[in-house]
Every structure is written in C-alpha cells, then in structure tokens.
Chains A and B, each alone.
Chain A
Amino acid sequence: MALQATDLGIGDTHVQVLTDNLTRTQIVMYAGASGDYNPLHSDEVYTTQVAGYPSVFAHGMLTMGMTGRALTDWVGIGRLTAYGVRFAKQVWPGDALTATVTVEAIRDSGGTVIADLSVVTCNQHGEEVVRGSASARLDP
C-alpha cells in the first residue's frame, strides 16, 4: 500500500525493528546474495587473527538494505526516488537494530507529491549505525 499525501504530516514517524539478534548466518546470506565475499564479514579466523577485529561484522550495505525495508514497508514498493546513508558505526553479530523514519517535508515536484524523509538506524545501545535520507512519491 502506497501512502497518500493526505495521510502524512511533517514530523510523522515510522519505527521498525529490523532484527533483534543479527546472526552470522544472516551476514553470510548477504555475502552470497550481494557477491561481496570480503572475509571480514564471514571468516572469523581471518577477521580475528589477521585483521585484528573481535569478530566478523556486517556489511554496511546489509544495514543499509535492512533499513531500506523500513522505507518500502512504509511508503510502498516502487515509490522511492532517492535513498542514501552515511555509515556511522559497525554492526556486529548479536546486535539489535531499529530504524526510525521521519517525514521532514512534503513538496510538489512538477505535479508529483514527494515526501522527503530522514532515516536513522540505531543499535541496542542507542548508537546510530547508519543515518541518511530518502524521498518517496506519494499518491495525491
């Protein structure tokens, strides 16, 4: 279901739990689907013994992808015109992630109603892991 402009107001938010316990297997699934097989995301031996991290960690693009679900669940499939994030912090196995999407503006762009959104995903400590923005086409 796509959102209608009349249903949305500036400051409206959508909060969505993306995972309550990110698993290593989920990260492996992302490696397989995306084609990014960097061993930092799946190879505990390499990551701890050679790269010096405490464990494997998620691809930034996995977090961005999971966060994108909060957008499409809210504004509808095929409605995004833009989506971008900055990677703020690493995401580790066991993390719980929650996305918050906020309406920042609603504007008319050549007869099309566009909602400008901010999006932030935080871990279980309340730390931002990604922050960004998106725009979506609304029904009038």
Chain B
Amino acid sequence: MTLYPYMSDEPEEIPMPVSRFPVESAHIAMFARAIADPNPVYYDPDQAAASEIGGVPAPPTFVQASAQFDPDYLLRPAFDGPWFGSGRDATGVVRDPAQGGGLHAEQHYTYHRPLLAGDVLSAISRDGEQWEKQGRRGGALQFRETITEYRDSSGELVVTARSIGVRTGQVVEQG
C-alpha cells in the first residue's frame, strides 16, 4: 500500500443514521475499558461530577458506538438470517470476491461541546466529496466522504464526524 500509505485494509465501519442514541455511563465505562483507558472519570460518576465538566465524559471516539443503536447495522448479526462469520462452516455467507471491499481510510471528529452521559443524541449522515484514484495494483479506488452530525435532544450540534471510505474494484491485498 505504498502508493496510498494512509489506506488501511480496514473494512468500512461507518455508522448509519440513528434516531436515538442515549449516552449512558455504563456504556462509557465499557467503551473506556475497550480502549484500555483507566482514567477514573470514566468509571466513577461521583468523581466525574466533581470534575471540570461536571459529568461522565464520553471518550473522543465514543460516537462510533452509535452503531449499537442502528437497527440495521450490517456488522452485527441479525436476529435471523445468515452471518458472514464462522459457525458450522468457516462462513455463513459466500460473497463474490470480485466485488472487492470497502475500507476505512480516515476518521475525523469536530467537538462542539463535551459529550456527557445523560445526553441523548440523534445522528444524520450525508454524502460529502467523492473522488477516484488509480490503484497501484490496477483498478480504480473510489473514495467517498460521509459527514455525520450528532445532535442532542434540543437540536444542538455536539459532534460532527467525517469518515472517508474507499472502495476497490478488486480484492484488497495486504500492504
């Protein structure tokens, strides 16, 4: 991947719009553990209440967990229907490898105010810019920007996320 050194073999994981994303302290604690962050402000609501921002804060990348509140999120097994991970067989869904895959190339956040436990967000996504580059191994790489606005229950903008995904016309080899 030397031509596009910032492109990873990371599948796209862009959350879709969600109508209701309650930000809860237990979820924040679980997320903070998951990113190996031991800061007590994520685990102790009393300490958080006494801190500068006066509540349990969300870690900087927490809004990515809005995927939990997208009823149709594709990277979570549905209650019924096949799943592409392993079970009885190595995969439950045979996909056409010629389709290539989507990769997560960049992720950017703008914070308009601190996000705290107790906030209830909604998210709306829109397409941003699109562009194309020629891949080093042949085949076009299609870059697509998605902008997601996370607003609180009063409609105030809290976080703006800008995600750049890239689609390849072929299976992506490891760099």
Contact = CB atoms under 8 A, between A and B. Distances in A.
Contact of B90 (A18, A33, A49): A49
Chain A interface helix/strand/loop/mixed: mixed
A46 B51 contact: no
Given A46-B85, A77-B114, A84-B108, 16 more contacts: A32-B34, A33-B27, A34-B67, A59-B13, A60-B13, A61-B104, A65-B34, A65-B64, A72-B37, A72-B39, A72-B59, A76-B52, A77-B57, A82-B108, A86-B6, A89-B1
Nearest to B54: A78
A4 B51 CA distance: 17
Nearest to B30: A33
A69 B61 CA distance: 10
B11 interface: yes
Interface of A: 2, 18-19, 26, 29-30, 32-40, 42-43, 45-46, 49-50, 53, 57, 59-62, 64-66, 68-69, 71-73, 76-78, 80-90, 131-132
B48 to A, nearest CB: 9
B153 interface: no
B65 interface: yes
A43 B60 contact: no
Given A30-B35, A38-B11, A43 B30 contact: no
A45 B86 contact: yes
For this complex, into which size category does the number of interface residues on chain B fall?
35 or more
- 5 closest A-B pairs by CB: A84-B108, A39-B85, A87-B8, A86-B6, A65-B35
Interface in B103-128: 104-111, 114
A36 B67 contact: yes
B6 A33 contact: no
B44 interface: no
B111 A82 contact: yes
B51 A66 contact: no
B114 A78 contact: yes
A108 B28 CA distance: 32
A83 B109 contact: yes
Interface string B56-83: 0101110011011010010111000001
